[in-house]
């Protein structure tokens, strides 16, 4: 009786090894469709405006409606290129655009770093709080988003002006004798960007730190590591995905910020968003403004794409 049992068992095991797992009908296509629809939506409403702006950048300003010349003319059914890349060459000749771009990158990078310094302890405290208190703490983080960002900026303007609350308290305490000039400075721009974009840094960090296994911290302590060594070798590396996501969410919109530097910053150090606004409205030079927008997008997107596709990051992931 043992031989048939062994034979049947061998056949069954071999059949299972050669058999392919059954897939549900339409399962793969359904998943691709669900993922593809939002990607198609985003690409559609990104590529079409991008293409329009790129075509405008190839024209030249004119006193007409629209205020630029066409990049292509149709000779029958065939388009003929009549534009030029002179606007992009002009960007390299005028240092205003390079100074504005580098200033935007500097302010955005500094504000992102300050956001990280403030948001990491907040996210850690929320992640290690009791489950009953986490929702309340998260609601307090998200609460500023319930009001308009413009209202929050005007509220900060009222606090930072010479007759505002901060100067009044400092004079009353005796720290200063005269009001400090805080408006129309880089300090006001940094402070407002950090205040505005702080929740975008806290939420990804909280999502990462909340999943951190506390047993790893206990094992590090049992092995004799100090709290600082545990932070540098365990906690910080494991929170890297949240740090990267939060920095991207803060840095990218901060580079193109327009309202904050226009209301809080100095007039002699504009950011790239202010330069774009001036070219579109005051100068009515839409081709140059479009070239600035395309160049800024390329200078921001290409480094991130190269960084994302690097083999080192793929190995870490």
Judge whether residue 304 has pLDDT over 90: no
Q: Evaluate whether residue 11 is within a structural domain.
A: no
Give Cα separations from 69 to 54, 57, 60, 81 (angstroms): 13, 10, 5, 12
Q: Evaluate whether residue 42 is within a structural domain.
A: no
74 pairs with which residues across the strands?
79
Judge whether residue 132 has pLDDT over 60: yes
Q: How confident is the model at residue 22 (pLDDT cuts 50, 70, 90)?
A: low
What pLDDT is recorded for position 230?
Answer: 86
In the predicted model, what is the mean pLDDT of residues 279-285? 85
Q: Evaluate whether residue 76 is within a structural domain.
A: no
Question: What distance in Å separates the CA atoms of residue 69 and residue 187, rounded to the nearest whole number?
Answer: 41
Residues sharing a CB contact under 8 Å with residue 257, sequence separation 6 or more, in sequence order: 104, 108, 193, 271, 273
Q: Which of helix, strand or coil describes residue 25?
A: coil
Q: What is the CATH number of the domain that holds 228?
A: 1.10.3720.10
Q: Evaluate whether residue 51 is within a structural domain.
A: no
Q: Evaluate whether residue 271 is within a structural domain.
A: yes
Q: Evaluate whether residue 276 is within a structural domain.
A: yes
In the predicted model, what is the mean pLDDT of residues 99-127? 92
Mean pLDDT of the chain: 82
Q: Evaluate whether residue 240 is within a structural domain.
A: yes
What pLDDT is recorded for position 251?
Answer: 92
What pLDDT is recorded for position 13?
Answer: 47
Q: How many domains does the chain have?
A: 1
Report pLDDT digits (tens) over 75-93: 777 888 888 888 898 888 8
Residue 182 structural domain? 94-284
Judge whether residue 18 has pLDDT over 90: no
Judge whether residue 278 has pLDDT over 90: no
Q: Evaluate whether residue 220 is within a structural domain.
A: yes
Report pLDDT digits (tens) over 219-249: 888 888 888 888 888 888 888 889 988 998 9
């Amino acid at each position: 009786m043992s031989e048939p049992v062994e034979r049947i068992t061998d056949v069954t095991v071999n059949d299972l090894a050669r058999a392919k797992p059954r897939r549900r009908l339409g399962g793969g296509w359904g998943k691709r469709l669900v993922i593809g629809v939002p990607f198609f939506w985003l690409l559609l409403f990104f590529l079409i405006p991008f293409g329009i702006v790129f075509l405008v950048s190839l024209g030249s300003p004119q006193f007409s409606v629209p205020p630029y010349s066409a990049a292509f003319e149709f000779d029958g059914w065939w388009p003929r290129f009549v534009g030029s890349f002179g606007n992009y060459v002009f960007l390299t000749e005028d240092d205003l655009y390079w100074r504005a771009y580098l200033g935007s990158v500097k302010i955005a990078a500094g504000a992102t770093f300050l956001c990280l310094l403030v948001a990491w302890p907040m996210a850690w405290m929320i992640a290690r709080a009791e489950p009953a208190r986490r929702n309340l703490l998260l609601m307090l983080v998200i609460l500023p988003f319930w009001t308009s960002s413009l209202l929050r900026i005007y509220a900060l303007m009222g606090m930072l002006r010479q007759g505002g609350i901060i100067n009044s308290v400092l004079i009353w305490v005796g720290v200063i004798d005269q009001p400090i000039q805080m408006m129309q400075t880089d300090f006001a721009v940094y402070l407002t960007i950090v205040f505005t974009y702080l929740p975008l840094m806290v939420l990804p960090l909280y999502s990462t730190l909340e999943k951190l296994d506390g047993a790893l911290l206990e094992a590090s302590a049992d092995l004799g590591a100090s709290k600082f060594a545990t932070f540098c070798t365990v906690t910080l590396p494991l929170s890297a995905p949240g740090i990267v996501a939060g920095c991207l969410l803060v840095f990218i919109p901060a580079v193109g910020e327009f309202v904050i530097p226009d209301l809080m910053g100095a007039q002699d150090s504009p950011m790239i968003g202010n330069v774009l606004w001036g070219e579109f409205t005051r100068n009515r030079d839409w081709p140059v403004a479009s070239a600035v927008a395309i160049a800024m997008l390329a200078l921001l997107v290409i480094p991130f794409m190269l960084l994302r596709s690097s083999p080192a990051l793929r190995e870490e992931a």
